[in-house]
Chain A
Amino acid sequence: GAVVSQHPSRVICKSGTSVKIECRSLDFQATTMFWYRQFPKQSLMLMATSNEGSKATYEQGVEKDKFLINHASLTLSTLTVTSAHPEDSSFYICSASPSDEQYFGPGTRLTVT
């Protein structure tokens, strides 16, 4: 299957700071990537669709000014959590695909203190 990487795998930051998470497709090009968030014991929630060269499409209820997405190349999308607060602590996972099948990155565990 296709390989998707994420960096960092784990980050702890102070309330009010911003955190950037990178998602890379390693062996294919992806015009579209997806960002998900998962709270403990809950399912994946789609946050936004990242589109290469254009604006991201956000799901209802997701603040686009708080979760900034940049998809500047066919292999890299970044998610920046701005002015993070403890309630933003979660497991953030990206996915990408060379076809219909989505492949997930290993995830980034964000803890905001």
Chain B
Amino acid sequence: QKEVEQNSGPLSVPEGAIASLNCTYSDRVSQSFFWYRQYSGKSPELIMSIYSNGDKEDGRFTAQLNKASQYVSLLIRDSQPSDSATYLCAVMSASKIIFGSGTRLSIRP
């Protein structure tokens, strides 16, 4: 079992809709969780970090964490074409950040 699992996609969402990205992790004692956005040919950019159960909102982005289910998600409201990218879920485990393989998101006009 992979340590951090994501659906590879592509996930296609119409412009203006909500994009929902999901991630599960295996290390039950993990305490820190992150979402990164990576455009093609570029390095990852931190979007959100979340440390406690529940929702955390920042602009159009909402991260959700459920430690009991070992599940973290990212919602993007009012999706824009510029949101088209690969989204990487990351979990801190044993002082290292472990990345999922990423979900490719495509926003169609």
Chain A interface residues toward B at CB < 8 A: 1, 34, 42-44, 46, 49, 91, 93, 95, 100-107
What residues make up the interface of B, taking CB atoms closer than 8 Å to A?
A: 32, 34, 36, 41-46, 49, 51, 88, 90, 92, 96-102
Q: How far is the CA of A26 from the CA of B80 in the complex (A)?
A: 32
CB closest residue in chain B, given A59? B96
A–B pairs, 9, beta carbons within 8 Å: A34-B97, A43-B101, A44-B99, A49-B96, A95-B97, A100-B32, A101-B46, A102-B34, A104-B46
Interface of B, secondary structure class, is strand
Interface majority SS (helix, strand, loop, mixed), chain A: loop
Cβ 8 A contact of A106, one of B34, B43, B101: B43
Q: Which of A43, A91, A100, A101 contacts B88 (CB 8 A)?
A: A43
How far, in Å, is B9 (CB) from chain A's closest CB?
12
Contact B34 A101 (CB under 8 A): yes
Q: B43 near A46 (CB under 8 angstroms)?
A: no
Contact partner, B49, options A34, A42, A49, A101, Cβ 8 Å: A101
| Residue contact A1 to B46, C-beta cutoff 8 Å | yes
Are A102 and B42 closer than 8 Å at their CB atoms? no
A103–B46 CB distance below 8 A: yes
The residue that A100 contacts in the complex, of B36, B41, B49, B98, with Cβ under 8 A, is: B49
Contact between chains at B45 and A43 (CB < 8 Å): no
User: Knowing A44-B99, A46-B96 touch, does A104 contact B44 (C-beta < 8 A)?
Assistant: yes
Shortest CB-to-CB span from A50 to chain B, Å, is 12
